Chain A
């Protein structure tokens, strides 16, 4: 069975500082990894995905994520956080052996302080 863990419920960072949101996964087949962001009273917005190829994936709004197969991690990063990045972030995985179902992590709330 596939699973995703986001070990931090909340991450606080000062504006302009680097932001990292952690995600680890467990799958039996090849992982297809996704990051989504949810702003208050909104649906989920897709940020980026890892399918294959380069371990560093670049996405929307200046975000990037690094796939690490040996550590089964897919951490989301942004070099310089903005106050407007304050939101709820979800990591999700599809397992090639488990069909199309997306399994989500518990979510990490990011608070960027001015």
Chain B
């Protein structure tokens, strides 16, 4: 299984600032995803990070707020822009090595973000 390194593991940020989260995988993977887990809640898919093209965002999430990069098959970043306290969540990077329906996704350790 892929080994995923996510940085930073946690951060406390001032409102109005931006934070960029990095996700590094130890092997080339077909699919990379970004999820948000609000306090006490389940995981919500933010977007699919597409290599070499713009990310595909889910309903309720927009590129201006959550710009995503994926320059190659092993790395992606998620930026949380113009943060407010409502953005306080755990952000998780996930990878799917094959892109096939029957393969499990793997997750990074998550980034715990607190906005004050």
A interface residues, Cβ below 8 angstroms from B: 32, 34, 36, 41-46, 49, 51, 90, 94, 96, 100-102, 104-107
Contact = CB atoms under 8 A, between A and B. Distances in A.
Interface string B79-116: 00000000000001010100101101111111010000
Nearest to B58: A101
A101 B110 contact: no
B101 A104 contact: no
Secondary structure at chain B's binding surface: helix, strand, loop or mixed? strand
A44 B107 contact: yes
Given A100-B99, A105-B42, A41 B112 contact: yes
**Residue from B94, B104, B109 with most neighbouring chain A CB atoms (10 Å):** B104
Interface residues of B, number: 24
A104 B31 contact: no
A34 B102 CA distance: 10
Given A46-B106, A105-B42, 15 more contacts: A32-B101, A34-B104, A36-B107, A42-B109, A42-B110, A43-B110, A44-B43, A44-B94, A44-B107, A46-B105, A49-B102, A49-B104, A100-B101, A101-B45, A107-B41
Contacts of A90: 42-43
Contacts of B96: 100
B107 A43 contact: yes
Contacts of A96: 101
4 tightest A-B contacts by CB? Answer: A43-B107, A44-B107, A51-B102, A43-B109
B88 to A, nearest CB: 15
Nearest to B108: A43
A61 to B, nearest CB: 15
